[in-house]
Amino acid sequence: MTSSISRQLVFWLAMPLMLLALCGALVHYFNSIAPGVISSDRRLREAANALMARVQVAGGQVTLDANPNSGTAPPVPDSIKYAVRDSQGHLLIGEAQLPIVPMNSANAQLFAMAQIGHRSVRTLTTRFDTRAGVVIITVADAGPTAEPAARYGFMSTLLWDFVQLDITLVLVWVGIQLGLRPVKKLRDEIAARSPHDLRPIVESSVPREIAPVVVTLNRLFTMLRSSVQSQQQFIANTAHQLRTPITGMQAQLDILIGEPAAQPISSRLRTLQESVRQLAHSSNQLLSLARADPAANMASKNQSVLLSAIVGEVVAKFFDRALQSNIDLGIEVQPVSIMADPSLLDDLLSNLVDNALRYTPPGGSITVSAGVRNGSPYLVVEDTGPGIAEAERQRVRQRFYRLPNSPGHGSGLGLAIVDEIAQLYGATMTIGPGTSGRGTRVLLQFP
């Protein structure tokens, strides 16, 4: 599964931004609650100091000196709850509901959180020595705290930060998509090219960030063009080197068979002549197959080809052979043109007609048609031969496959060549029975 640059960028931006938003909300929370905590601690210290100043020991008993001005308990705010205990934790004076906070001998004062009823309060426990022993004073601030407001502020700040984060990520996503438009344009340009188009991409039209990719692609296109040209040159040279000696050998055999001195071995010479013809036919088919390969046609220059002209030229080449075999070879054409390589179309139709002549018995007929159907050019070769079984119609497209009990010594390349050339031009090849239900009908529908 391929990864998306856009998603990766948004992901790597979202994670730190989420952490920043959370940290910002926490800072806001602590900034809101800190003043209240500091004020509460100050009140607790003042209350603890006031209580310690009123502690009296008389007769081994700890008491609190009354306020000389009012005759009441020591002056502590109403919101301050207190409890005075001895070292064993026994309550001497104050609120029994205040919990005992354990302290070690190293601490003189200790702030802590305690639970009074269903409410958490902040407490200050002070430990000091008197003549009657150790006295522990615990004071708690039971007044209203800033924590609910701070918690509300924390949640509202966090919510707003995440709303801003979502809006920011959407804007970032839109910005990334706009920034990646040159990349998408380059992708669409390459995707719209045909396999034959190896023109270099204009480097000045792409951003600097992807310019190295374009340079590499252009270098690859240059290498492919050189490779294709070398392959085409090799095919052309091979065709020349093979056809010239084979044609000369055929001509010499034709002359030799006509000589009176060769009559005693004429049957052997005719067998040799047939073998040379088969060799010539096979070599031509192999070269046609090589030319039909898409890799060899990347740099081929297509041109407008009149199908009726190709049909006429190919049928003319096979007309004498059809007469010798007593086969009616005819054409039905309409003027229609396609963009293709004329030599490849010649190979395609020649293999179809050659196959039809091989399998059509004497007295049969072959019809080559070309025209337009449903707005698309088509080419049809129909014969009155034995036909191709439905189970074999897909297998005959394979290279070197021949039908069982096929006549002659074919190489099984004819329909494979036709199929590869058809695929090269985006045409669909359909193999079916003839119009009358007998024979074979090969339809090529071009785009």
State the sign of the Cα–Cα–Cα–Cα dihedral 282, 287, 291, 294.
positive
CB atoms within 10 A of CB 6: 14
How far apart (Å, rounded) are the C-alpha atoms in residues 376 and 338? 10
- Least confidently predicted of 259-268, 341-350, 375-384, 404-413: 404-413
Integer angstrom CA distances of residue 34 from 39, 111, 374:
9, 15, 82
What pLDDT, in 10s, does the model give residues 8-30?
877 888 888 888 878 877 777 77
What pLDDT, in 10s, does the model give residues 218-257?
888 888 878 777 776 776 667 666 767 777 777 787 788 7
The residues, any chain, with a CB within 8 Å of residue 189's CB and separated by 6 or more, are 201
How far apart (Å, rounded) are the C-alpha atoms in residues 252 and 297? 35
Please name each of the domains of the chain with its CATH number: 5-149 (3.30.450), 196-300 (1.10.287), 302-447 (3.30.565.10)
- Least confidently predicted of 93-102, 132-141, 321-330, 404-413: 404-413
- Rounded to 5°, the CA angle 118-120-125 comes to 130
Q: Tell me, what's the pLDDT at 72?
A: 44
Q: Tell me, what's the pLDDT at 167?
A: 86
Is residue 84 within 8 A of residue 51, CB to CB? The reply is yes
Checking if the pLDDT of 395 tops 70, the result is: yes
CB contact burial 84-100 (16+ within 10 A = b; e otherwise): bbeeeeeebbbeeebbe
Dig out the tokens for 265 from the structure: 């071995």
Checking if the pLDDT of 56 tops 80, the result is: no
Checking if the pLDDT of 393 tops 50, the result is: yes
Mean pLDDT of 387-412: 70
DSSP assignment string, 350-387: HHHHHHHHHHSPTT-EEEEEEEEETTEEEEEEEE-SS-
How far apart (Å, rounded) are the C-alpha atoms in residues 388 and 98? 103
Q: How many CA atoms lie within 13 A of 415 on its CB side?
A: 26
Mean pLDDT of 426-434: 84
How far apart (Å, rounded) are the C-alpha atoms in residues 438 and 389? 11
Count the helix, strand and coil residues of the chain and give each as a percent rounded to the nearest 5: 55, 20, 25
- Least confidently predicted of 284-293, 339-348, 382-391: 284-293
Strands 365-373 and 328-333, bridge-based pairing: parallel
What pLDDT, in 10s, does the model give residues 263-310?
778 778 778 877 777 777 666 766 666 666 655 554 456 788 888 888
More confident residue, 125 or 36: 125
Checking if the pLDDT of 71 tops 50, the result is: no
| Mean pLDDT estimate for the chain | 77
More confident residue, 281 or 176: 176
Confidence of residue 165 (pLDDT cuts 50, 70, 90): confident
DSSP state of 209: G
Q: Tell me, what's the pLDDT at 22?
A: 81
- Least confidently predicted of 64-78, 106-120, 162-176, 400-414: 64-78
How far apart (Å, rounded) are the C-alpha atoms in residues 382 and 127? 114
Confidence of residue 170 (pLDDT cuts 50, 70, 90): confident
